[in-house]
Structure 1
Amino acid sequence: MTDVNKTNTPWVTECLEDGFFSHCYLATGAFGSKPQVSNLARNLSTGRIFDLASLTKALVTAPLVYFYCTKGCLSIDQRFSYYLPHLLPQPFDRMTIHDLLAHRSGLPPWRNFWINRLDTSSPRFMQRKERLDLVSDVLKRVDLKPEAGEAYSDIGFIALGILLEKIMAKDLNEAFMEFCEQELAYSSDEWGFAPDIVSQDFISTGTCALRKRALVGEVHDENCAALGSIAGHAGLFSSGNALLGYLESLSRHPKMSRFLSLNAQAAMDGHPMFGLRVGDDPSSSPFGNGHAIGHLGFTGTAFWLDWNRQIYGLVLSNRVVSGRVNPRIKTFRKEAFSFLQSIHHDS
């Protein structure tokens, strides 16, 4: 791999020196070619596996839903209640699998799954049946009124993760690893949900006030942690190189290439997406001129694919190590994706 010219990234050095994050990974390239990569950290001897946060939606849950639709196990236009009739309340009875993927189900963005369940003694893992019971219990007792218009929803992807576990009769992590290895012929030791054994390769995302410890190899998202570290909305860990390998494998697979093409076409036409998002906000639009497809992650991660040009941009960081909320992330992403886009203009 070729190093991105680090003299062109003073804003990364500044973020490292200021403690905004301790690790950062930048990559861009064209599918089928060697990427240009830069891996920056305060201490390059440790840490290369990031908590990808909501990238899990676009990299795990959406591809698996689409794949199992192509196999006839699911139908994208079928109501969710056909498969899990009692998980969600009556106001959402008519929503389809596609509605959930496109964040147009009317489900609210977030509800608390961790209250009275996440503390210093909470187990890191749980059985699939326990996860179903917890999700069902929370969704029965909280107020779920339909949102007006399109509403980005963690709850929708938590529900899709539960649906996948029911359809496949196995943990989402196990099903996803089988999909990678058997269908994509892809595997990596630096890829997957929270591990049983945590090594120094995992990058910290700071200290959790609920768990009262530094999070290293433990998912940052509290709802995912309460669900046993495996969920449809968050939980995936990866190094930058492993993520590039996965994206390359997706692009070569006929069915998954079609999945990416459908998202790209929907983005161009302004139609409902199939699990990915459109990179049209100011921090993302520099890459792909507002038509790229991909996702953002709360921990400081993002990827965008300019599918028509067959190029990608990837930015990973652990920016939550300096605090949960900081508007600097928007400026940083804009600088990062502008820089990655400029490499293609210069080539």
Structure 2
Amino acid sequence: MKMKSADRLMHAAVAENIFPGAHLLVSHAGNIVFDKAYGRANIYTGEAVTRDTVFDLASLTKPLATTLAVMILTQEGRICLDQTLAAIIPDFAASSKADIQIRHLLDHTSGLPDYRPYYQTISRFPFDRRKPALKNLILAESLMSAIGEKTRYSDIGFMILEWVIEKVAGLSLNDFVRARIYDPLGIQNLFFIGHDRCIIEKSYAATEFCPWRRMLLIGRVHDDNAYVLGGVAGHAGLFGTAGSVHVILHELLKNFHGDPSKQLFQPKLVRLFLQKSPGSDRALGFDMPSRAGSSSGKFFTPDATVGHLGFTGTSFWMDLDKQIILILLTNRVHPSRSNEQIRAFRPLIHDEVMKQFQ
């Protein structure tokens, strides 16, 4: 498919500085029908975005790493969605968070705050004391609403999920998803970059000039909290290409429709995670289109679409009924997060693509 109108819109977005560079990938029934890179990965060097450019995926970490790890552990009977934090991590037993269940963290109904600038405090600690310091800060947080009462998007809930995965699996989140998910699927271009590791030799889309780190971020995680935790966290830290993101989503889509080709996820489990969670307007670990003003636009099937957005300008939407996957990776925070034009652009490009399937 040529998708001329969508292609023109992407070129215009670069010309109008909505973002310096981007990669748009679209597939239908497993077949990639559009796959094109635009603009610059780095405005200072002039390096172009290619289909091999690696983007900081930001909050796409939540569905593409943390949630997938929970899915594997749930499938193996090592985690139950109704388990409480107190039952898994004893430190939570005496806190207001003791009765938060795993499902509450996944569908953002835990009552936890959305975000706190923890990096401002824990960056003062030696590295090996930062996670304990973070845990103490989170234990001291007050809930913003009763557990299970309302949907409130929370980075903090996914920070906790990383600890749950580590406790149950006995491996770091990074090592677990690499060994159990990415390697079995043959994915090389989806990874965390820990501070203890050299930056993998790839072409990276630059993000922001960070004032407190005093550097332009290239191959270093943009999220401040994830950075001070070593680059690996449950809420952010994953890097990847559009092609690698598509491999994951296509596998989920196949499994959803009953084809467990790689034997990673049972169809019943995938359907459980990708349906609207009771008491929430989200799925388990995934977003769903809102009833009005969704960034997904007007043409995705409302109750049969899952996706997620990332702060750096990344997103994906997957229509389970129409079997359409749309991945848009940009570096809209390069060189500054103050550029928020992508908010208005996302539904426009999604609609232009989806019109081709109407």
Normalized against structure 2, the TM-score is what? 0.84
Gap runs ≥5 in structure 2: 41-46
1:60 aligned partner: 65
- Cα deviation 1:172-215 (Å, max 9, x = unaligned): 11100011246xx2133321112622435111012111111000
Match of 1:74 in 2: 79
Aligned partners of 1:250 and 1:256 also within 8 Å: no
**Structure 2 vs 1, CA of residues 285 and 262 (structure 1 numbering), >3 Å: closer, same or farther?**
farther
Structure 2 partner of 1:211: 213
Task: State the distance in 2 between where 1:340 and 1:24 align.
Answer: 15
The Cα of 1:137 is off from its aligned counterpart by 2.7
Could you tell me how far apart the structure 2 residues matched to 1:325 and 1:233 are? 21
Of 98, 101, 109 in structure 2, the residue corresponding to residue 104 of structure 1 is 109
Flag as ranges the 4+ runs of structure 1 deviating above 6 A.
267-271
The alpha carbon displacement at 1:236 in A equals 0.7
Distance 2:67 2:321 in 1: 20
Change (3 A) 1:89 1:208: farther
Q: Is the alpha carbon distance of 1:230 and 1:85 closer, same or farther for their aligned partners in structure 2, counting shifts above 3 Å?
A: same
Residue number among 284, 287, 294 corresponding to 1:282 in the alignment: 294
Structure 1, unaligned runs of 5 or more: none
Query: How has the CA–CA distance of structure 1 residues 22 and 296 changed in structure 2, closer, same or farther, with 3 Å as cutoff?
Result: same
| Residues 228 and 321 (structure 1), Cα distance of their counterparts in 2 relative to 1, 3 Å cut | same
- 1:121-270 map, 5 Å: 130=129, 132-141=131-140, 143-147=141-145, 149-181=150-182, 185-194=184-193, 196-199=198-201, 201-253=203-255, 254=260, 255=265, 257-266=267-276
Q: Which residue of 2 aligns with 1:17?
A: 15
1:233, distance to aligned residue in structure 2 (A): 0.6
Deviation at 1:155, TM superposition (A): 0.4
**Deviation, structure 1 residue 87:** 4.1
Letter in 2 for 1:192: F
Shift of 1:283: 1.9
8 Å contact 2:296–2:350 — kept in the other structure? yes
The DSSP-based 3-state class of the residue aligned with 2:334 is: helix
| C-alpha contact 1:58 1:276 (8 A) present in aligned 2 | yes
Q: Report the residue type matching 1:151 in the other structure.
A: R
SS for the counterpart of 2:308 is: strand
Q: 2:25·2:32 contact (CA, 8 Å) conserved in 1?
A: no
TM-score, reference length from structure 1: 0.87
Out of 293, 296, 307, the residue aligned to residue 320 of structure 2 is 307
Structure-1 separation of matches of 2:233 and 2:93: 17
Report the count of equivalent residues: 334
Which among 38, 42, 48 is matched to residue 44 of structure 1? 48
Residues 223 and 91 of structure 1, relative CA distance in 2, 3 Å threshold? same
User: Distance in 1 between the 2:280 and 2:92 partners?
Assistant: 30
